[in-house]
Amino acid sequence: MPISISIKNVPDDIAAELRERAARNHRSLQGELMAIIEAATVKKSPLSSSEFLAAVRSPGLRTPAEASEMIREDRIGR
């Protein structure tokens, strides 16, 4: 069941920034605050070991020498 949350004594400058942010995002102040709270509470699950290994292997490199060569080429601008 949803609950109501109240924030008291918000400084004028912060309230103004929130109103401007809400306007930029075409939201009400309430909608903007909800979006901020949702973004702050989204839990990103860490990668599993197999997902991490896949991400590390995705460039197709097999040895540290290959990684060094890729970096060297990037620095030279080939």
> Domain count of the chain?
2
Q: Are residues 55 and 76 in the same domain?
A: yes
Q: Are residues 58 and 77 in the same domain?
A: yes
- Mean of all residue pLDDT scores within the chain: 88
- pLDDT, tens digit (0-9, with 9 covering 90-100), for 24-52: 999 999 999 999 999 898 877 788 888 88
Q: Are residues 37 and 52 in the same domain?
A: no
33 domain-assigned: yes
Confidence of residue 12 (pLDDT cuts 50, 70, 90): very high
- Exposure string of 16-44, with b = 16+ CB inside 10 Å and e = fewer, is eeeeeebeeeeeeeeebbeeeeeeeeeee
Q: Are residues 52 and 73 in the same domain?
A: yes
Name the residue range of residue 72's domain: 45-78
Regarding pTM above 0.75, the answer is no
Helix (H) or strand (E) run with residue 53 in it: helix 49-57
